Structures are given as structure tokens and as C-alpha cells.
Amino acid sequence: MKNLLNPSIIYHSLPVLRIFVFLAGIFTTRLLQAQEASPPNVLFIASDDLNDWIGALNGHPQVQTPNIDRLAARGTLFTNAHTQAPLCNPSRVSIMTGLRPTTTGIYGLAPRHRQVERTKDVVTLPQYFAANGYRTMSGGKVFHAGITPEERKVEFQEWGPDGGHVPMPERKIVTAPLDMVNHPFIDWGVYPKDDETAMDDYKVASWAVDQLKQLGEEKNNEEPFFLAVGFNKPHVPLYTTQKWFDLYPEADVMLPTAPEGDRDDVPDFAWYLHWFLPEPRLSWVIENNQWQAKVRAYLAAISFMDAQVGRVLDALEEQGLDDNTIIVFWSDHGYHLGEKDITGKNTLWERSTRVPLIFAGPGVSVGMQSSQPAELLDMYPTLVALAGLPQQEATEGLSLLPQLKNPDTPRERPAITTHNPGNHSVRSERWRYIRYADGSEELYDHLRDPEEWANLAGNSEYAEVITELAAWLPAEDAPLAPGSRARILVQKDGEWLWEGKPIKFDELIR
């Protein structure tokens, strides 16, 4: 090799070098043409109830998510991404159809999108890819839980395990009666069996690894794939095996900051959005000495889920499929662990709306972060654009391709989150504006108040900001779709009803 640096050898070798460079140029051109002719694959990875507690988002100082973090390092992380609904079913319907809850009328845990006139014939994201020559596969929770036989016929071409809530133990770990609904899933602690292979998320990851091995063996096949992998954790019950709890010694677990009186400047109507739920209030977890235990279990469940993501990413690389595969990782909505005096979701605040959103692969900038507001329904047009497919005109999201090329490119509108008709949040790069169905408002300046502790809506100094943000509120809210139920808030004859029962404020559980 040293002789090749001799100038005389280089001089006498110029004709050979010119031929080599010429041939290399032809090879490179043909390789690029082949790559252009070979559509990219898509690996679509979902988590459930994961807020911004991943290392790359600095959401919790102790969280350990090395696999999600390495994915963020090889792609673009949206640090200001938000769900369209802070609840599983309407969020996932929005993602998969590319339509807002205010368009579909789906706001609760039911109905399913094929049961609603507006969306019964909608072309979902996997259907669109299948129509454009992709082999589509799904395992775990991608659509809302419990895929129907009708959905199995039309949504994906191939199906793996449903996933779920792990085999439930014989009795709950947390035995204290809950303050509202004593639901069996509202539980947390070390999984009774020290065998994580029995857990549903592990099985989903194993299925995905097997699919990728098979796809690797068939990679000369020109048919690209769309592989969706949906993990349940850190959704309740917050069970996982001891080794993941060992990452977070209980005495050292840091709790979220939840200052007393944080809701003093918040409209009372905010309670209506999470009026009576299985998830306990902060007061309950404190009184029952469970706050630290629940935070610890949530962290452990995140790290277990992250390990399953790592198994899938490793398999993609081992099969040599990573260079031509677009990867997107997302969560359907966030989750409170004591902030604003509650645990759970169902709010229009940052903890409930903000989610991880990461793209990596062909056409995506490496090691970048974008603080532009992004929406989960943007995934549909973004993946279509990255795959080079014809634009799907029926969707309501915006392609994030400009931000994937240059993360500072402004997005033309803020992110909108809706929870039941008339309740909306508008999140720009700096501000969050909330308007409730009774007209009450909140405004937070994330530049100075990232924890949303000071509601500025009553300050006339910010009237212009509110006017600007309010212009983005949906012009119309589709009424509740027939069959709507579970976490539904509606006004009837001048009275507010939660899940069909009148709300009486003096019965509020704080």
C-alpha cells in the first residue's frame, strides 16, 4: 500500500487509474439507478402511552432507552411532536387514516373506523402502500386493541400476534382500592414470573425478528415491505421482570415536579376531560405510598419496551435491510405521572400530547433534531413522500419531508390536539393555547414556562398571541360518531355528561 503513494508509480499508472475511475463511475451510476428503482421498505414501530421519557428527549433524567436513542442518532427526532387525540383509539384512527377526530367524529375508545359512515371506506396507510405494490404486515398493537375479523381482511395483508397486556397474574400487586374505577389493568410492579419471553411485547418482537429474517432471505425479491410492529408498553398494567426494575432502585427514583396549587389558575372545565377514570389521582398515589412505585414501574416498562425495539432494529441490520428501509418510531399519546394532580392521559397539556417521533433511513437527515411542531397524522403523507409514491390527497396531515431535509424549515401550521368536541390545544414552536368547549382558555409560554405552570390566558398583554393561535382552531367539530362510548364528554340539553352521566362538580374527586 505504501508504494501506491510513490509519485512515479501514480504517474505511470494514470491510464489504468482513468479506466478504473471510468468503470467505477459506471458502477456507481448503475448502483444509484438500482437504488432509485428499488422502492424503500418501511418499518413502522409504535409504542403505547409513552410520553417524552426517552433519553433523546430528556423527559426524565434517569430513563434508560439506548435503542430508541441510537435510532434518533441515526435519523431525525421531532422534539415538538404531538398527538391528535390523548387517547388510544382516536389517536390511532387519526394516524392510520390521516384524518383528524374533528373530521371522523371518533373521539372515544369506540367505535372503530370501519363502523363509521365517514370512514368505513377510507384508504388507510397500509392499504395505500399495498395498493402501490408493497407487502404489508402487522403485529402487536397498531390499530386499537382487539383487531376485528373485518379489519383483518382489509387493513394488512399479513398478521402476526395481537399483542396485549401480558398474561395477567392471579391477583393484583397493588391491593389498595382505587379512588374511582377499580380496573384490573391499573396495577404496577414486578411481573410475578421471571421470564420476559412470556410477555406479549417480547412475543411481538420475536415475530418481527422472524419476519425480518425471512425478508432478508428474500431480499432479491423486488417487492418492498411495510412492516408494522406495535408494542403495548408502557401502557398499564405496568408489569415487567425484575431486571428492568433493577435499573431504577426505588429509593433513588426521581419524581416529576407537581407543585401544590398548580391547577389554581386552570379552568374548572379542565376536570371534565378526565372526570372519572380508572387512572388514580395524584392524591391517591401519595396517600397510598404508590407515587414512587408507579413512576419506577413506568420507567421499567419503558426500558423493557426499548429492549424489544432494539431486538427489531438489530434484526433489520443483521439482514442487511437497514440501508433501504425507512424507520419511524412513535407513541400514540403521552401520560401524566403526577403533573397537574393526575396520572394517566386525557388532557390537552404537554405531558399528555407530546410524544416521541423519529424518522431514519433513506431521505432522512442523520443526527438532527427539529423543534418545529409536528403532528402524528403527518406520518401518512411523510411516508408516502419518502417512498416516492403519488400523494394521497385525502389526508389532512402535512409531509415532514422539508424538515427531514432541513430541520429548521418552518412548518406552515401548529399542532392541533382534540379531546371530545370543542376541546382543542394549539401548540406552536413557542406557545400552547387551549380552548375548552365552554369557552374557557389557557395559554402557556414554553420559552419561559416549559412545565406549563403559569396560565397567561387572563393577561391582556397576550391577547394578540391568543388571537393568532385561535385562528388555527378547527372551524367545525364533527359530532360524536354513532356508537361513541368510553371517555366521552358531551353536552345535552344544557347539561354536561361524562360517559352518559351528568357531571356534578361537587362530586369531583381531586
**Identified catalytic residue from 60, 88, 165, 336:** 88
What mean pLDDT do residues 169-185 have? Answer: 94
pLDDT for res 34: 37
Q: In this predicted structure, what is the pLDDT of residue 218?
A: 86
Q: Quick one: what percent of the chain has pLDDT higher than 90?
A: 88
Asked whether the predicted pLDDT for residue 11 surpasses 90, the reply is no
Residue 470 has pLDDT above 80, yes or no: yes
User: Are 165 and 200 spatial neighbours (Cβ–Cβ below 8 Å)?
Assistant: yes
User: How does residue 265 score in pLDDT terms, banded at 50, 70 and 90?
Assistant: very high
Calpha distance 4→413 (Å, rounded): 57
Residues 89-111: what's their mean pLDDT?
A: 98
Rounded Cα distance between 194 and 21, Å, is 59
Least confident residue range of 148-152, 406-410, 441-445, 455-459: 148-152
Q: Which residues contact 149 (CB under 8 A, 6 or more apart)?
A: none
What CATH number labels 39-408? Answer: 3.40.720.10
- Cβ neighbours of residue 63 closer than 8 Å, sequence gap 6 or more: 53, 54, 55, 299, 302, 303
- For residue 18, is pLDDT > 70? no
pLDDT computed for residue 244 by the predictor: 97
Residue 434 pLDDT grade (very low, low, confident, very high; cuts 50, 70, 90): very high
Q: Is the pLDDT of residue 411 over 50?
A: yes
The mean pLDDT of 151-172, rounded to a whole number, is 92
Place 222 in a pLDDT band, splitting at 50, 70 and 90. Answer: confident
Contacts (Cβ under 8 Å, ≥6 apart) of 479: 105, 421
C-alpha cell at 193: 414470573
The pLDDT score that the predictor gives to residue 220 is: 74
Query: Cβ neighbours of residue 274 under 8 Å, at least 6 residues apart?
Result: 342, 344, 345, 346, 347
Q: Given a cut of 50, is residue 233 above it in pLDDT?
A: yes
- DSSP for 366-407 reads SSEEE-S-EEGGGHHHHHHHHTTPPP-TT--S---HHHHH-T
* Between 2 and 455, residue with greater pLDDT: 455
144 classed as catalytic: yes
Q: How do the residues of the chain divide into helix, strand and coil, expressed in percent and rounded to 5?
A: 35, 15, 45
CA-CA distance, 425 to 415, in Å (whole number)? 8
Average pLDDT, integer, range 458-481? 97
Residue 9 pLDDT > 60: no
If you average pLDDT over residues 141-169, what whole number do you get? Answer: 91
Asked if pLDDT for residue 168 goes beyond 80, the answer is: yes
Query: Taking 60 as the threshold, does the pLDDT of residue 321 lie above it?
Result: yes
Measured CA to CA, the distance from residue 147 to residue 141 in angstroms comes to: 9
Distance between CA atoms of 223 and 209, rounded to whole angstroms?
19
| Domain layout of the chain by residue ranges | 39-408
- pLDDT at 409 > cutoff 70: yes
Q: What is the pLDDT of residue 35?
A: 42
C-beta of residue 270 within 8 angstroms of C-beta of residue 203? no
pLDDT at 29 over 70: no
Please name the residue ranges forming H helices in 411-486. 463-470
Q: Choose among 219, 220, 222: nearest CA to 211.
A: 219
Q: Which member of 82, 113, 144, 419 is catalytic?
A: 144
Could you give the CA distance from residue 473 to residue 167 in angstroms, rounded to a whole number? 42
pLDDT of residue 146: 82
- Note the pTM of the prediction, 2 decimals: 0.92
pLDDT at 37: 53
Catalytic residue check, 88: yes
Inform me whether the pLDDT recorded for 14 exceeds 60. no
Whether pLDDT at 13 is above 70: no
* pLDDT band at residue 36 using 50, 70 and 90 as cut-offs: low
DSSP 305-372: HHHHHHHHHHHHHHTT-GGGEEEEEEES---EESGGGBEES--SSHHHHEE-EEEESTT--SSEEE-S
Q: What is the mean pLDDT of residues 487-499?
A: 97
Mean pLDDT of the chain: 92
Give the mean pLDDT of 276-293.
Answer: 98
- Compute the average pLDDT of residues 351-374: 98
**Which residues have C-beta within 8 Å of that of residue 151, sequence separation ≥ 6?**
112, 114, 143
